[in-house]
Chains A and B, each alone.
Chain A
Amino acid sequence: MFPGAAPAMEELMDTAGCWSEKESKFLREQLKRMRKRFPQIHWCLLSIHASEQMSLRLFNFWFFNASPVPEPGDSEKRAWTILLTYEKTLGQFAVMPGYQLEAMLSDDEWYDLLHTMKVSWREGGMRRAYRDFFRDAEVKLVAASKKMQEMIQRSRGR
């Protein structure tokens, strides 16, 4: 899959060759929109083609931490990153947030998002799956942000 070390993380990493140029453009637009809404959050959309049985969760954990950080300042960015991986062979999706975002959405919420994606994929294909994922993720992240802001306000009020 990655001969040697893990590559540096980028926004769009289609190592399995799943996305056409049009789809890549669509995904970049979605990421751009999400960046505008949540300027702190960085995204990495990854597609892989696993040659053997492997745990996608474990792969995500490894890649997330093993992928080199080009600049020293980027290590801070990595903790604000969400990695969404598509494994082509078994048809799996896995999502993993950095430390800073762990508290914002629970594992169950991430699971819900992936489930939505799965349903949308069946109904309308990959493009629709990613679109619905980002749409619902936006809703959940907005709610999480508001909730956090309210908690901060309340704690200041005390």
Chain B
Amino acid sequence: MSTFSHYIAWIWLTCALVLHAAPSSSVFTIPPKPVSQVSDESQWLSPSEKRVWEKQLTTWKVRDKVEIYLVVLKDLRNLPAEHVSREISHRWGNPELCGVLLYVIGSRTPQVWWDGSILEKIQLDPRARREMILRIEKRAASELSELDQIHSAAHQLSDTMRVIQSQWTQWTFIRDKWNDSLYRHWTEERLKRRTKLMLLLSVSGLGLLIAMVLLRAYWRKRQVFLFPRISSRRRFAAPYGGGSGAVISFVSTREPR
């Protein structure tokens, strides 16, 4: 009996622990992608503040091709902010370059994160990127209010991303220009070489043809024709010729000259 009661007590305790632990271990879900670039499900921002940020972020996106999302969350369920930001960026943002400004309500400073394939293309050192992020966060932390911190971090982040974006633009411009000029140079060179080759072949062919024609003409001119010796019968006892051949009389008997 005691064994059975112990068994019942063990099951009860396990259920209690599971029920107790369930809320704290619930999976963190990334909020759905907002229509604008501001996600604030908890409505921490006032409607007017939200509108200001939406307008500002849209302007940067359209004008400078700098895409930044401002995400306000209640908590991160113990997940690292960097991990959450990366996930948001991957799901919502432009894979080439995207920034996320993550503010967890009640935290000291907003978390800054930005990444994209451009960084690899312009060969930016990951340590430099990390350094930039830390500097932005440090400067933002120096502001007094949370909103000012977000404001500072957003502006610094947009400036940084604008520089990166312009670097990439410049890099592609130089690359295209270089490729274009190089391609043109190569094409011209190849065309020149091909033209030269064709010209050389044509002239050679023509020369060869002319040489062959001349040689043939020369050979034909120099060609000797022989006749076989035959045994002929003498006619009229003539030793050399038997009187064959032809005679023709001109119609006009006047002097030829």
Seen from chain A, the residues whose Cβ lies within 8 Å of a Cβ on chain B are 18, 36-41, 56-58, 60-61, 64-65, 75, 78-79, 81, 83, 88, 90-104, 107-108, 110-111, 113-115, 117-118, 121-122, 125-126, 141-142, 144-146, 148-149, 152
Known A145-B226, A148-B227; contact A95-B257, beta-carbon cutoff 8 A = no
Q: Which residues of A contact B224 (CB under 8 A)?
A: 36-39
Q: Is the CB of A90 within 8 A of B241?
A: no
A72 to chain B, nearest CB (A): 12
B31 to chain A, nearest CB (A): 104
Q: Which residues of B contact A41 (CB under 8 A)?
A: 227
In-complex Cβ contact of B241 among A18, A56, A65 (8 A): A65
B191 to chain A, nearest CB (A): 51
B42 within 8 A of A: no
B27 within 8 A of A: no
Q: Is the CB of B239 within 8 A of A107?
A: no
Q: Smallest CB-CB separation from A94: which chain B residue?
A: B247
Seen from chain B, the residues whose Cβ lies within 8 Å of a Cβ on chain A are 222-230, 232, 234, 236, 238-257
Inter-chain CB contacts under 8 Å: number: 134
Q: Smallest CB-CB separation from A81: which chain B residue?
A: B240
In-complex Cβ contact of B232 among A100, A117, A148 (8 A): A100
Known A97-B244, A101-B227; contact A65-B250, beta-carbon cutoff 8 A = no
Known A39-B226, A126-B256, A142-B225; contact A60-B243, beta-carbon cutoff 8 A = yes
Known A38-B225, A100-B230, A148-B228; contact A111-B240, beta-carbon cutoff 8 A = no
Q: Is the CB of B239 within 8 A of A94?
A: no
Distance in angstroms between the alpha carbons of A130 and B227 in the assembled complex: 23
In-complex Cβ contact of A100 among B229, B238, B245, B249 (8 A): B229
Q: Smallest CB-CB separation from A117: which chain B residue?
A: B248
B17 to chain A, nearest CB (A): 119
Q: Which residues of A contact B248 (CB under 8 A)?
A: 92-94, 111, 114-115, 117-118
Q: Is the CB of B245 within 8 A of A107?
A: yes
Q: Which residues of B contact A65 (CB under 8 A)?
A: 238-241
Q: Is the CB of A96 within 8 A of B245?
A: yes
Distance in angstroms between the alpha carbons of A44 and B256 in the assembled complex: 20
Best-surrounded residue of B240, B246, B247 (most CB of chain A within 10 A)? B240
Q: Is the CB of A99 within 8 A of B247?
A: no
Q: Is the CB of B246 within 8 A of A99?
A: no
Q: Smallest CB-CB separation from B252: which chain A residue?
A: A91
In-complex Cβ contact of A92 among B239, B242, B250 (8 A): B250
B177 to chain A, nearest CB (A): 72
If A78-B241, A98-B240 are given as contacts, then 17 extra A-B residue pairs at C-beta distance below 8 Å, sorted by A number, are: A38-B226, A39-B226, A81-B241, A92-B250, A94-B246, A97-B245, A99-B242, A100-B230, A101-B227, A107-B244, A118-B248, A118-B251, A121-B256, A125-B257, A126-B257, A149-B226, A152-B228
Q: Is the CB of B256 within 8 A of A61?
A: no
Known A102-B232, A125-B257; contact A37-B246, beta-carbon cutoff 8 A = no
B147 to chain A, nearest CB (A): 114
Between A and B, 10 residue pairs with Cβ closer than 8 Å are A38-B226, A60-B247, A81-B241, A99-B240, A100-B227, A100-B232, A113-B246, A126-B256, A141-B225, A149-B226
Q: Which residues of A contact B230 (CB under 8 A)?
A: 99-100, 103
